[in-house]
Structure 1
Amino acid sequence: MNLKMRYVILYVADQEKSKRFYKDILGLPVRGEHGTYIEFETGSTILAINTRDSVKEITGLPIPENNSSQTFEIGFVVDDVKGTIESLRKRDVEILVEPIEKPWGQVVAYVADPDGHYIEICSSLD
């Protein structure tokens, strides 16, 4: 089996609010829009959003109405974690964890998107 991660889809409550966050605040280019489904360029993996109602209809899966518990995070590597966090703070993004250097040398911080999804902003390990 040869699996390759191609995309991640976040289920959101408010498509326009989430689109503004990822496009205008984080600066991710929109790759494509198909109704309630929007894809953003992030490098080798596509980040997409879709409304919970649409996902329920398309998949038939039981999708919760909100993020009642966090079971994952998405991570973005940046050159300057502290500078990125300060820029996001000025745009009223909720900062969950201030930048901290981990024992392995990586600097990490956490923010939340409009639906409360955890987003790690971190330095590269390369």
Structure 2
Amino acid sequence: MVRFGYTILYVSDVEKSIEFYEKAFSFERKFISPENDYGEIISGETTISFASKELARTNLKEGFIESRLTEKPFAIELGFITDNVEQTAKQAENSGATIIESPKQKPWGQTVAYIRDIDGFLIELCTAIN
């Protein structure tokens, strides 16, 4: 059996990134390693993890493409379901996020917005699909 356990974001500052997610989305910190190079937050059924770029380089000898706000986002997003997309987007923006697409209602009734976190990762904020 295979199950999806976590997503790891490679970031410059694990502590700072976790603090952003705590403030922006009210997620809880699960832990941060004593070396401050890895940490996790409690975000629902799937854990969001953070690894320092330095730690990631030790695991990926050929390197990786870094997420940067000055570049277009990767072709992947984190999806966060919320009852109030507008309020969540504003809270995230006040915590340092960049609004990419303001909340809009889709033809199927779902409200969706797109933001980027402080490390440049793309996040979709949306209401549940009924």
Distance 1:80 1:24 in 2: 16
Question: Which sections of structure 1, spanning at least 5 residues, go unmatched?
Answer: none
Deviations 1:48-96 (A, max 9, x none): 0111111111343522344455121001100111121233333342111
Aligned to 2:87: 83
> Which stretch of structure 1 is more off in the superposition, 51-60 or 31-40?
51-60
Of the three residues 76, 96, 114, the one matched with 1:110 is 114
Partner residue, 1:124: 128
CA distance in 2, matches of 1:85, 1:12: 21
Q: Does 2:21 align with 1:17?
A: no
Unaligned stretches of 5+ residues in structure 2 = none
Given residue 13 of structure 1, which amino acid in structure 2 is its aligned partner? Answer: S
Does 2:76 match 1:72? yes
Cα-Cα RMSD: 1.8
Partner of 2:32: 33
Mapped to 1, the partners of 2:38 and 2:96 lie a distance apart of: 25
Distance in 1 separating the partners of 2:103 and 2:31? 32
TM-score normalized by the length of structure 1: 0.87
Aligned-pair identity (%): 30
Change (3 A) 1:5 1:82: same
Cα distance in 2 for partners of 1:9, 1:92 equals 20
1:39 aligned counterpart, secondary structure:
strand
Change (3 A) 1:62 1:89: closer
Distance 1:74 1:65, change over 3 A: closer
The alpha-carbon deviation at position 20 of structure 1 amounts to: 1.8
Provide the residue aligned with 1:51 in structure 2: 52
